[in-house]
Amino acid sequence: MAERTDDGVTTTAKAGVSRWAWERPGRWTRGRVIAGLALVTALLLAFPRAMPNRPGHLGSLLEAFLPWLGLAVVPLLAAALLRRSATALLALLLPLAAWAYAFGGLFLAAPEPGERDLVVVQHNVSDVNTDPAGTARTLADAEPDLIALEELVPAALPAYEKALAPDFRFHEVRGTVGIWSKHPLSDTRAVDIKPKGIAEGWSRGLRTVVHTPYGEVAAYVAHLPSIRVGASGFASAWRDESAHLLGRAVAAETVGKVIVLGDLNSTVDDRGLSPLTSQLNASERGFAFSYPASFPLARIDQVLARAATVGRILTLPATGSDHLPVTARVSLR
């Protein structure tokens, strides 16, 4: 029988309560699954290329939207608070630190403008843009030295030429891409970045030499093939092949300073663009999400450079396109 004590509780009952309290998970032992998910999130933020790219180019898909992975902290924090888990709360510091390391620098102030800077604008104007003249005025209002445009269709081209002519004396168009410049252009040619599976007549790349007051700069304008996200994953094979062709052209460029402007259909973190990003530098200041214009989720419109530094990249006001224009100051060394 259980022995009754002075307080009227049996020793057997006390032992049962004590044993139940001891075995119940505590604040340091509960929430281990949440802590594990926090660790995985931190590792993916810090080492996104650890994610395999097969099947479905999942690595590229992760990298294209990598900054948004930080939002995983929000549901994990709610779960940690609900579970009252000190372990999970401490583990959440890891993805926060990884995100700050990867993207915190984008919030820092831009360097002071230099005397050897070029202001550039990059914009996919959309082939269904109903206001090309208004779009051109928006871009010109940024007072750039160079404007790169993609999805130039024959019907809209005269409107861009007319609207930009007063401020940009020089321009070149090849296929559906073009460049407008305040400085003389020479040695312009089309750049073949067409993947093998696309029909003839597809022309989305050009190269020209810009004669700036600070020396010659080879400027490339490119529009890489679109990608699709579907049941089979991230369909980017054509985009990746086109990036390889463009990267090969840039690697063979004999002019020392190079600027690449274009709709590259992914972010600079995407390993599919590594043929370009491995030999060029991108802006280290500013997010400038450019697509889609109605709710920008990623910057797929890029300004890249060789032997030059890309300053803070910013978006310009919306136009009649489904992309936002981006602008950056490129410092020529």
| Residue finishing a domain among 84, 106, 128 | 106
91 with 142, same domain: the answer is no
In a domain, 22, yes or no: no
For residue 13, being part of any structural domain is answered with no
Structural domain range at position 257: 113-332
Report pLDDT digits (tens) over 296-318: 999 999 999 999 999 999 999 99
Say yes or no: 124 and 230 in one domain: yes
Do 65 and 142 lie in a common domain? no
Task: Specify the long-range contacts of residues 72-80, CB closer than 8 Å, at least 24 apart.
Answer: 72/37, 72/41, 73/38, 73/41, 73/99, 76/34, 76/37, 76/38, 76/41, 79/31, 79/34, 80/31, 80/34
Q: Is residue 308 one of the residues assigned to a domain?
A: yes
> Residue 315's domain is classified under what CATH number?
3.60.10.10
- Give the β-pairing of 308-315 and 146-150: unpaired
Last residue of a domain, one of 63, 89, 106: 106
pLDDT at 267: 96
Give the CA-trace dihedral at 66, 228, 125, 159, to 10 degrees. Answer: 170
Mean pLDDT value of segment 231-237: 76
Examine the domain organization and report whether 217 and 86 are in the same domain: no
Residues in the chain: 333
Supply the pLDDT for residue 113: 80
**Range in 36-40, 52-56, 66-70 with the lowest mean pLDDT:** 52-56
Question: Are residues 188 and 296 both part of a single domain?
Answer: yes
Same domain, yes or no: 194 and 229: yes
Residues 134 and 272 in one domain: yes
**What average pLDDT is seen over the chain?**
91
Using the Cα atoms of residue 66, residue 321, residue 276 and residue 327 in order, give the sign of their dihedral: negative
Looking at the structure, tell me whether residues 61 and 76 fall in a common domain: yes
Q: How many domains does the structure of the chain reveal?
A: 2
Pairing, β 177-181 against β 170-174: antiparallel
Q: What is the pLDDT of residues 151-174, one digit of tens each?
A: 999 999 999 999 999 999 999 999
Q: Of 79, 106, 133, which residue constitutes the final position of a domain?
A: 106
pTM score, two decimals? 0.88
In a domain, 65, yes or no: yes
